[in-house]
Amino acid sequence: MKPDEIAPPADFFIIYTETDKPWAEWIAWCLEEAGYSVILQAWDFRPGNNFVVMMNIAVRAHRTVAVLSPAFLEAAFVQPEWAAAFREDPTGVGRKIIPVRVKDCQAEKSLLAQIVYIDLVKCPRDAARSILLAGIREGRAKPQNEPPFPGISAK
């Protein structure tokens, strides 16, 4: 049986460290509430599953969300997970990997430093949800309404 016959690719695979599991679960919840399909190890890798097979299914997701924190940047075991996504889209044009920064950290000594991230650091819950969903959404981030005129204002 081929992996696609077991389960079609999810919209997102969320990768994280145990330290950031609450953030990963919150992100997964928000994405599923918005209608996306998500693979999250804490929810989808169940007793009796083969971990390697499940990971192979997970890395086929259309996009990978990396829960970015100091713990994530120091963890060796998440590197193969994001490297699989990076290999498929090294230019970032396909947005295969989307880092979501949840704690103050710098990825300067990593290939992830090249990738624009969604920043949720110090955001209140509702603002964080809006920022997350806006960052995940496909297409341009052009506003719906004309921005304020920055030049001379009429008095």
Distance CA 9, CA 63 (A): 10
Q: Who's near 144: CB < 8 A, 6+ residues apart?
A: none
Residue 123 in contact with residue 133, Cβ under 8 Å?
no
Residue keyed to tokens 């990971």: 55
pLDDT of 5: 59
The shares of helix, strand and coil residues in the chain, as percent rounded to the nearest 5, are 40, 15, 45
Pick the CATH number of 14-136 from 3.50.50.60, 1.10.3720.10, 3.40.50.10140, 3.40.50.720: 3.40.50.10140
Distance CA(22)–CA(149), nearest Å, equals 42
Residue numbers in the chain where pLDDT is lower than 50:
1
pTM over 0.75: yes
pLDDT at residue 15 in the model: 97
Q: Where are the domains of the chain?
A: 14-136
pLDDT (0 to 100) of residue 3: 52
